[in-house]
Amino acid sequence: MKSRLTASSTETMELLHFLLEGVALGSVCVLGVCANCVSTWVLLMAELDLTSTFVHLLVALMSFDSIFLVGLFAMYTMPMISGRWYHKNVYTHVVPYLLPVVQIAHTGKWERKDTLLKFPLKRSSRMIFV
């Protein structure tokens, strides 16, 4: 009876692992990259009353975020949805190069976010900090 509970528990954990890393994380990555592309297009093409520095900071933030999301997709979602072939032929060769890029993008994303939080927004005649 005890081995049956362990087998059931293992299957449940594998299913949960697939649902979180394969389905949920993959969906968030795809939606995030799409949203970043649309946001970048809107910021660069629309006639918004924003300073060019602020727009460039936002585009840099979205670029770092997109690189981070693509890296997460390649490192976590692809092995879950493609099986052993991806892990054997692609994952082991790509991760040593992809992991540092993802970490740099993650660091750049937070550094840009901190810069944006200190960027002043003009309202009337006084400066308001976000």
Alpha carbons 5 and 117: distance in angstroms, whole number: 50
Distances (CA, A) of 26 to 70, 74, 79, 112, 126: 10, 9, 11, 24, 43
> Could you tell me the pTM of the whole model?
0.77
Quick one: DSSP state of residue 124? T
Specify whether the backbone of 46 is left (phi greater than 0), alpha (psi in -120 to 50) or beta. Answer: beta
Alpha carbons 21 and 31: distance in angstroms, whole number: 15
Work out the pLDDT band at 36, boundaries 50, 70, 90.
Answer: very high
Which has more confidence, 126 or 67? 67
Which has more confidence, 113 or 98? 98
- Kindly report, residue by residue over 39-88, the tens digit of the pLDDT: 999 888 887 777 788 888 888 889 999 999 999 999 999 988 887 888 88
pLDDT of residue 121: 56
